Structure 1
Amino acid sequence: MTACRVCNGLQVDSITNLQADETSRPESYRLRSFSVSSRLRDWHRSAKDGCPTCRLIWEVLVRFDSNSVLERLLEISSSSPSSPSESDDSDDDAIYLELSGVIGQTLVLEFVELPPEIYFPSLEVFSIGSISDSLQIIGPANEVATDLDLKLCLTLTRQWLRDCKLQHAQCVSKGADTLPTRVLDIGDRSDAAQIRLYESAPGQCDEYVALSYCWGKFGNLTTTKGNIADRKRGIPWEVMPKSFQDAIEITRGLGIGYLWIDALCIVQDDASDWEREAARMAEVYENATLTIATDAALDPTRGILTPRQIDLVSTIDSMNNAVAARRPYRRAAIETFSVVNKLGNVNTVYAREPLSHEDIALPRSHHDITYPLMTRAWTLQERLLSRRTLHVTASELIWECKTTLYCECGTIAQVLEYLNDGSSPKIGFDKAMHDIIEECQKSLNTDTPHLNQQQKKPRIPITTRAWTMLIGEYSNRTLTFESDRLPAILALARRFSLTDELATPRTYLAGLWLEDLPWLLCWRTIGRRFEKRPDVYCGPSWSWVSVITPVIWYTQIYDAESRVDILQAATFPEGADNPFGRVKGARIVVKGQVQMAKVCLDVENDEILGLSNDRGERILFVPDQNPDADETPNRHPSPPSPVSLPRGASLQRDAASLYHGEEVVCLWVLHRPAADDVYGLVLAAPVEESIMRSIPGSEPKQPTKTFERVGVITGKSRRYLNTHEVPASSWFAGAEVQTISII
């Protein structure tokens, strides 16, 4: 039987197979993959002529043609020359439809280069059985139910949990099943109201489930010093929000008797209890048998066992006005088709607009607006540290452990194939932890000095880079209370300290690490979401915790040499026993080349132009905040007085307080000779309140001038040179070696 000239019967051969230079994926993948691109009018004609595959494709297009654009596309396609004797060059105006996929996985349909005024969604087609007489090409996929009920949830979760326990040695924690300080004793199904707060005995072991969810603005239930006694006697079923109730039902259905929910298991108005339990957060999630993450819920009233949400609003779409105007939302609703082959066998085929699996699978992505949990800062460590996570998304359940990532529809594996190592964030984090433990054990020991005098290259570049990638993701998330910027990543910081793996643990400095501090100091803010500093003190100006903006580190810095000596570095934690939590103050004393400069402003447009040295040479820098972040910008004629700042504010200098001609200090921190890249800190005189925040007992041995960071000079500056600017290395010529203090 001759294959259809349009779809080729979806045979993977020399016509449809991806060529070696078209993909970086393994050869086995390339030989199973295919891509067919034909004119829309040819698909239409072949469907009418009886090709089963083309007929199915056309039926899918018609079913999703909500705006009736197919006729217009056919008209455009048919208006182009169609004579076989004409060359392909004469057919440039035809509308092409591309069908691509991999044997055993999903097909993807999308139009190639549609006219800008016309929109048609990309589509996924997946099936049980075959849609071609000659070849079964589509792998098995679960039919996604319209509602998530307890039966479906337990069926999938039991299967995934059983497989993980039997097959994945990586998912066994050395402290597995050690109960947290408090858990909810949820009893059993025979007594639905038997729920109480239980304080475990030291070292007591039993299986438990942890809940990861958005607190939201209302509907939460907490434990306080005033009601903890009542919570221990019992918690009425009817007072618990829907997500708590559903989590209890799922936990009971799995045969597990304990559930951990932070709002109930930590005394929220007891500062000492909160600090103590926050310090143990890593163990809570690592030792839990399973973590249930309510990714799609804005607050705990939303529930878990609910109707599926089919309207999916994409962050990327919302930022692209042109796309948003044509596509206000995507839909995850599944259309069902029945295809009968020549033998009379009926196969069921499903199609839909693609789900955003990228938001779950990729380490750093634009989180879908329908997944609010993914945008919250606290939940990053909850996800990475949990051995196993059941993600309850808007449209399906997704299973994530340290070995695998599964979804109901079976298509998430395709997203992972695009990653170099095929890793989900949890798998990637687990691999990174193994690498940094090995690197630090080789590079750091008790004989190595803690301070960085004469250190020219990073001692632990793999570890340092892993931390900067983690903070890049974390800083892109949101917090209800900005004072939680350090506590919300406390558990991950404790893991990175390698307390259990090193004879002398690494030294944590309010979000940075002493061991490679010169490189970590060179963070920069990124994107257009510049904001002012937090209204409360979160950390020193030289740490990323002092800004409410996403930050990054350029990867080139790891090839750069340090030009500074760290003479002293210390933080003053709020909790005496918790060096990874909130800090009251911090200071570093640095010796290096210092260049005095004046701020150049375009006062009329309220824009920073750069820094001018005493020779009149100018260089660009990246301010840590947008200069016009204030609602009513005011260029002070002199450094701001603390009296002029709001009571309770962080009282740290920011770029909005810089004035034209103000003298600042530029510290040369790193130099990358191969490209002549310079990285440095831009420092300004602090306000009085900041100076008073110096740490008792850690004053410099010699009197030093004190500054606060307001920006950074990066290696990218040289790419934006104009006639008034010079390379940074030349700009620093004549800089004096000084010892300064930064707070």
Structure 2
Amino acid sequence: MPMVFSRNNNKLAAGIESPEGLIELCGFDVYMHQDLIQADEKKPLGILREMHGDPGSKGSLRIASNWLASCVNNHANCSPTVPGGQILPKRVLNVGDETTDPFLVEPAADSRSGRWVALSYCWGGEPSMKLTKDNIGRLKQGIPLDRFDATIRDAILVTRALGLTYLWIDALCISQDRDSQDWIEQSSKMNIIYGDSTLTIVAANSSSVIQGFLKERKLQYIPLGWLPHKVRPEEPLYSLAPQRIHISPSWNSQDDQITGPWTTRGWTMQEGLLPNRLLFYTSTQIIWKCCTVIEYERGVKQEPSKEVVHGFIDAGGTEIWNFDTFSKFKALPLYLQLIPETSLSEKYRLWYALVEDYTPRRFKYIQDRLVAISGIAKIFGDLIRNDEYVAGLWKQDIVRGLSWHVRGAKLIPSKTLQGFSVPIDRFPSWTWASVGYDVVVNDHARQDGLRSFSVIEDVQVNLVDRANPFGAVRSGNITITGPIFRLSRLYNKQWQCKETPMSALERYVSNIVEEESIGEVEERFSSSNGQFAALQMLQHFPSIDRRLDLLILEGTDGTSNGITIYRRVGVLSLQYIHQRFIASPELVKVREVSKRSLRSRLGSDSHRRSKKLRQSKEVFEELVSEPWPRQTIIII
């Protein structure tokens, strides 16, 4: 059976002819030496660029340098807003050259205009060289290149190859002394340090500063001989010798994704969103990402076409939600101009999406959680205008913001971090920062027209640094007034016994606590001496389903000016399908569709979940017959 090869752009498909037709066996990518591709840039050859096994080779570094030059010269929306260079950070590393060792620089306030590269990487332990008051003089004198940790050494080499002088690295440009205020000051400027950088290098393929990112890669190229010839006299003749043409197994599209330890660290999220230009070093290739294009070392290029940009505007900005997080963040200014000012859900939707991406990320010190997103928060706050940021939430939308919960457990969230309990005094209980490394979501992030039962009277936050409202907090409290129902406990193990005297709410809460608890229910939830409460928060009225969120709270035995103080436990969601809406054949049909959809979602757990829906309905009916008194409380 004869082999058949077919070509489609830069790919070859290998197969065999059979009586039933062509049977494809495998695919190959076709690569050409980069010098030949660059010989006629205006006439794309449709063939991929041959990559180098060593990402630190001159050829590979030249690719990165060409990307930067092309962006600087051609992409107006990627350039800094200040012509002639930005204000340099307080400290930068002069990378030197082959004859000059790198050395630390503290630019004078009147001569700090310039360009710099920032480095985003995983510490993976303690760097062997950090800035302290004891070694700052030695760093200013110069340090031999081989004395630096591998990741920092690689970043210095790349910065030199890009033709830039200054490199910013947190371990060497922020004082690491325990008693230093420098860290508090500089950590509040990440939006400037990364956002105004000419370029940020991302060591995505390294989990530790000692590993480095210019690592040799295994390439599976098979060379092919090819002697070009002129079909028409005006065509260029690259060479009369056989050219460097290779084939390799078809590229795995997963290798175009940014994965690895860098994507799971808390600090790196804003470091990957704030810059306008990013140079990623992955285990398979280098990748360029800016506000205009994404380019891959192997020669693939992605860029939003004019049709997509116009479609984004014509659709009222809705195309933004099809973008990746980086593109959504960069498109936010345009998006905010297109949405109605009255739509709080659209105004804050991206923030809740960012929190959802951010909360699973890990920290060496969990207390850095709010600091490590402060740069994003500051830019977001500048864009939405006229709102106050309070420990991860926004005051104008704080009733909706308080309705967050961890995915899979609304009422009993996980509170463990790598086997250790979260120090709850690090954060107020009402902020999403107070839970473990679970994904935090907000069910109301996309909903307008919500009815709020509670009113925010006051929000107070005790900041670590008063000059930085987006940074770390020592404590915080919310004074809120709304319908409240007090509970002696959240869980009664007799809740399934109909003879046990309990309100519909108490029975329903016990069911949820039992369902969401891992192992035994915590004793504090089942003790009859507890001081719990349910506060009515938000109600949503679609055509058939009626939904209500209750904030579940736990007393602290404390008061302030006679007002009871609570901590947040979680959210209790009630759902009620109104029978009285069914008044016409059309609505009956809608209800049947809703029931079928509900059954398909419930699956094998339909009996248990149907029981919960009945309990939820009973709680609604109980609320109508016995309205709760309105009271003012404080949540810390």
Alignment of 1:658-737 (within 5 A): 659=527, 662=530, 664-674=532-542, 675-686=545-556, 691=558, 703-714=562-573, 720-722=609-611, 725-727=615-617, 729-730=620-621, 732-733=623-624, 734-737=627-630
Secondary structure, counterpart of 2:49 in structure 1? coil
Residue 115 of structure 1 is matched in structure 2 by none
- RMSD of aligned alpha carbons: 4.0
- 1:277/1:524 CA distance change after superposition, 3 Å: same
What is the SS of the residue equivalent to 1:726? helix
Indicate the residue corresponding to 2:220 in structure 1: 334
Residue 179 of structure 1, aligned match among 88, 91, 112: 88
Counterpart in the other structure of 2:252: 354
Asked whether the 8 Å contact 1:358–1:415 carries over to 2, the reply is no
Could you tell me how far apart the structure 1 residues matched to 2:60 and 2:5 are? Answer: 39
Equivalent position to 1:516, from 387, 397, 407: 397
> In 2 relative to 1, CA 49–234 (structure 1 residues): closer, same or farther, beyond 3 Å?
closer
**Contact 1:547-1:625 at 8 Å conserved across structures:** no
Q: For residues 362-420 of structure 1, what are the alpha-carbon distances to aligned partners after superposition, in whole Å with 9 as ceiling and x for unaligned?
A: xxxxxx3xx21111110111111112110001110000111111111244749999x95
Query: CA–CA distance in 2 between the matches of 1:622 and 1:487?
Result: 34
By how many angstroms is 1:519 displaced? 0.8
Match of 2:477 among 570, 587, 608: 587
Question: Partner of 2:171 in structure 1?
Answer: 263
Determine the structure 2 residue equivalent to 1:24.
Answer: none
1:614 Cα offset (Å): 6.0
Q: Which residue of 1 aligns with 2:199?
A: 290
1:106-505 correspondence runs (5 A): 125-126=29-30, 139-175=46-82, 176-191=85-100, 193-202=101-110, 204-269=112-177, 270-308=179-217, 333-336=219-222, 338=224, 348-352=246-250, 354-357=252-255, 359-360=257-258, 368=259, 371-411=260-300, 413=302, 423-436=323-336, 443=341, 460-498=344-382, 502=385, 505=386
CA spacing shift, 1:174–1:142, aligned 2, 3 Å: same
Alignment size in residue pairs:
547
Deviation at 1:273, TM superposition (A): 1.0
1:740 aligns with 2:633: yes
Q: Deviations over 1:408-466 (max 9, x none)?
A: 1244749999x955744322211114434776xx85xxxxxxxxxxxxxx753223111
- CA distance 1:50–1:420, change in 2 (3 Å): same
Task: Quote how far apart the aligned CAs of 1:304 are.
Answer: 2.7
Corresponding residue of 1:40: none
8 Å CA contact 1:612, 1:619 repeated in 2: no
- Tell me the amino acid that sits aligned with residue 68 of structure 2: L
Structure-2 separation of matches of 1:612 and 1:207: 68
1:55-91 deviation digits (Å, cap 9, x = unpaired): 96447x9xxxxxxxxxxxx9xxx9xxx899xxxxxxx
Q: How far apart, in 1, do the equivalents of 2:461 and 2:160 lie?
A: 45
Cα distance in 1 for residues equivalent to 2:222 and 2:527:
64
Q: What SS does the aligned partner of 1:676 have?
A: strand
1:25-104 matches, within 5 Å, as: 45=1, 48=2, 50=4, 57-58=13-14
Question: 2:346·2:446 contact (CA, 8 Å) conserved in 1?
Answer: no
Residue-by-residue CA offset, 1:647-694 (whole Å, 9 max, x unaligned): xxxxxxxxxx655795521111111111311122111123x6xx59xx
Q: Identify the residue that residue 618 of structure 1 maps to in structure 2.
A: 508
Superposition deviation, residue 265 in structure 1? 0.5
Please give the TM-score of this superposition, normalised by the length of structure 1: 0.65
The whole-number CA distance in structure 1 between the counterparts of 2:86 and 2:3 is 62
Deviates more, 1:232-241 or 1:579-588: 232-241
Alpha carbons of structure 1 residues 477 and 527: separation in structure 2 relative to 1, 3 Å: farther
Superposed displacement of residue 709, structure 1: 1.0
Give the letter for the 1:432 counterpart: L
Q: 1:138 to 1:670 in 2, by over 3 A?
A: farther
Q: Distance in 2 between matches of 1:564 and 1:399?
A: 48
**Structure 1 residue identity aligned to 2:435:** V
**For structure 1, which runs of at least 5 residues remain unmatched after alignment?**
1-44, 62-73, 85-95, 100-108, 110-122, 130-136, 311-332, 361-367, 444-457, 605-610, 640-656, 693-698
Task: Give the alignment partner of residue 434 of structure 2, picking from 518, 541, 546.
Answer: 546
AA of the residue aligned to 1:435: Y
Q: Deviations over 1:99-129 (max 9, x none)?
A: 9xxxxxxxxx6xxxxxxxxxxxxx6745569
SS in structure 2 of the partner of residue 545 of structure 1: helix
For residues 167-208 of structure 1, what are the alpha-carbon distances to aligned partners after superposition, in whole Å with 9 as ceiling and x for unaligned?
A: 2111122244320011112233332x2423434425621111
| 1:535/1:57 CA distance change after superposition, 3 Å | same
For residues 553 and 383 of structure 1, the distance between their equivalents in structure 2, rounded to whole angstroms, comes to 23
d(CA) in 2 for partners of 1:164, 1:524: 41
CA shift at 1:486, angstroms? 0.5
- Quick one: distance in 2 between partners of 1:413 and 1:392? 18
Paired letter, 1:404:
V
8 Å contact from structure 1 (residues 596, 614) kept in 2: no
Separation in structure 2 between the aligned mates of residue 726 and residue 482 of structure 1, nearest angstrom: 37
- Structure 2 gaps of 5+ residues are 34-43, 231-241, 309-317, 496-500, 578-597, 599-608
Distance 1:617 1:435, change over 3 A: same
Q: CA–CA distance in 2 between the matches of 1:83 and 1:168?
A: 51
TM superposition shift of 1:295:
0.4
Partner SS, residue 254 of structure 2? coil
429-438 vs 287-296, which moves further = 429-438
Residue type at the aligned position of 1:151: K
